[in-house]
Amino acid sequence: MNSGIDSAPLNRGRIFIVTLMALFTAGAAVSMRAATAVQMQSEYLAPLGAATAGERLATALGAAFLGFAITLLLVSAVLARIGFGRALAGAAILMTAGFAIVAGAGSLGISTYTGLLIGMVVQGLGWGLVETVINPLTSALYPEDRVGRLGILHAWYPAGLVGGALFGLAIDHAGLPWRWNMVPLALLCVVFGALALREKLPPVSASTDAPVTPGEMIKATISNPTIFIWVVLMMFTASTEFAPGQWLDVALTQIVGMRGVLVLAYVSGLMFVMRHFAGPLVKRLGNIGLLISSSFFAAVGLFALGGANSPATVLAAATVWGFGVAYFWPTMLATVAERYPRSGTMVFGLMGSAGAACTYVVLPYLGAIYDGAKLAAAGGDANLAANAQGAQLHDILTAAAAASFRAAAVIPACLVVIFGIIAVADRMQKNL
């Protein structure tokens, strides 16, 4: 894969920096899509029909998650044939191509909406390749400290979210065209893709304690139905993190006197710091103990967000929620890697796909609860349109936000019980 340097020793630190850069870029791309959504809607979608512009925009943004899930599901089992370096280079190419397609969606000789969808899917395919590679690559680099290193690695996703959001605000403040958001991201893609090809990387088989072929991975996965319990749990943990994060700006901006997206940036910064300390926490609590604690804090934080009515109470509740969700993703991945070593990279793909798919499952549910609670508080659609103004509108939106966040809190509350049962089962098995 990297001819000419096969005899060179692995530089773990330098390779790890490449993975951090790749995930930072992916996170920044997510916040870039959010930061430019209004401009894309205005330029690309409103001319196609104002009544459907919002729905079309949501579909386009969701297309990136679709591409993400597809890549994880299809590539994970054959990653050993591709290799870490070529896969990361492919991710860089796809993400850069996706940025270019979105930027030129109106001049590709196809419908603008189709071009936008294609660009978003291609970005998502590149994002999925990043996620496909970085988890097993980190496991291969640090078999003695997988949870700790995966925690540090995944700290750079929220760092990317913050960085992309701040850069987007700067571009907007400077009055530059929204397409400028994509320039630094494309440059980062070029850098991490080139570095991935230059470095000598470990074989994919080194990512687990029991190296296996793609066929053996598939067989091991199918023959272990309990894996799919963890896949479902991954949907629950990921939805606890991602869905409320996407909902913060919609639900909170008009009722607490600050932009909800600033709360997301704050929580992302908090997660960046906390994920650097996953290793010591796992040594103290164990994987399942950390998941139980995380679920508890996430449930309390979401329930508290449902009652927040000022910037101070929102930040307090968001802090508790952030403490809860900070460790979900890396700890879940590390746990299945340790429990199902013969499933290799395929189990990473299944888990990541489940996490991406959660966006389709939970967000529409939260939206339906929000809309239903809003109509109920207003006394019906006619009253909402005719009479909801000022303080009355504030009360209606507060009730809707409370209903949606408290409904979301049910998910981590259930996880406390489920992970508790798993902890008891593990203890009983050890005592046999």
Rounded percentage of the chain residues whose pLDDT exceeds 90: 30
Average pLDDT in the 3-15 region? 68
Give the pLDDT of residue 364.
62
The pLDDT of residue 87 is 93
B/e letters for 214-246, b = 16+ CB within 10 Å, e = fewer, are: beebeebbeebeebeebbebbbbbbbbbbbbbb
Reported confidence tier of residue 9, pLDDT bands at 50, 70, 90: confident
Sign of CA dihedral 259, 310, 403, 243: positive
Distance, C-alpha 218 to centroid of its chain = 25
Residue in this structure with the two tokens 């993703």, named with its chain if needed: 329
Report H helices in 224-380: 226-256, 260-274, 278-305, 311-325, 328-339, 344-378
pLDDT at 428: 86
Q: What is the pLDDT of residue 50?
A: 52
Residue 217 has pLDDT above 90, yes or no: no
Instruction: Concatenate the DSSP letters of all residues of 106-153 into one string.
Output: GGSSS-HHHHHHHHHHHHHHHHHHHHHHHHHHHHHH-TTSHHHHHHHH
Tens of pLDDT along 182-208? 999 999 999 999 999 998 888 776 666
Looking at residue 297, its pLDDT comes to 97
Q: Give me the half-sphere count of Cα atoms (radius 13 Å) on the Cβ side of residue 38.
A: 5
1-207 and 211-432 have identical folds = yes
Residues 6+ apart with CB under 8 A from 57: 37, 40, 41, 45
**pLDDT-derived band of residue 126, with 50, 70 and 90 as boundaries?**
very high
Q: State the amino acid at position 361 in one-letter form.
A: V
Q: For tokens 């998650």, name the residue.
A: 65
- The architecture that CATH gives domain 211-432 is Up-down Bundle (1.20)
Q: What angle is formed at CA 371 by the lines to CA 68 and CA 302, rounded to 5 degrees?
A: 65
Question: What pLDDT is recorded for position 5?
Answer: 42
201 Rama class: left (phi>0) / alpha (psi -120 to 50) / beta: beta
More reliable by pLDDT, 179 or 246: 179
Task: Tell whether the model's pLDDT for residue 52 goes beyond 70.
Answer: no
Token reading at 19: 């993975």
Structural domain spans, the chain: 1-207, 211-432
Q: Does residue 246 surpass a pLDDT of 70?
A: no
Query: Per-residue pLDDT for 275 more than 60?
Result: yes
Nearest to 244 by CA among 225, 267, 224: 267
Cα–Cα separations (whole angstroms), residue 314 to 243, 260, 304, 356: 17, 9, 8, 26
3-state DSSP helix/strand/coil percent for the chain, to nearest 5?
A: 85, 0, 15
Highest mean pLDDT, choosing among 41-55, 57-71, 95-109, 237-251: 95-109
Residue type, 381: D
* 303-329: average pLDDT: 90
Distances (CA, A) of 353 to 75, 232, 360, 390: 11, 11, 12, 43
- C-beta separation of 146 from 10 below 8 A: no
Residue predicted with more confidence, 157 or 400: 157
| Rounded average pLDDT over 347-365 | 75
From first CA to last CA, the distance across the chain in angstroms is: 46
Closest CA to 27 of 136, 126, 94: 126
Q: Looking at domain 1-207, what is its CATH homologous superfamily?
A: MFS general substrate transporter like domains (1.20.1250.20)
Predicted pLDDT at 382: 67
Distance between CA atoms of residues 350 and 87, nearest Å: 18
What digits encode the pLDDT tens for the residues 377-397? 777 666 666 655 666 767 777
Least confident of 169-173, 228-232, 374-378, 419-423: 374-378
User: Do residues 324 and 240 touch, judged by C-beta distance below 8 A?
Assistant: yes
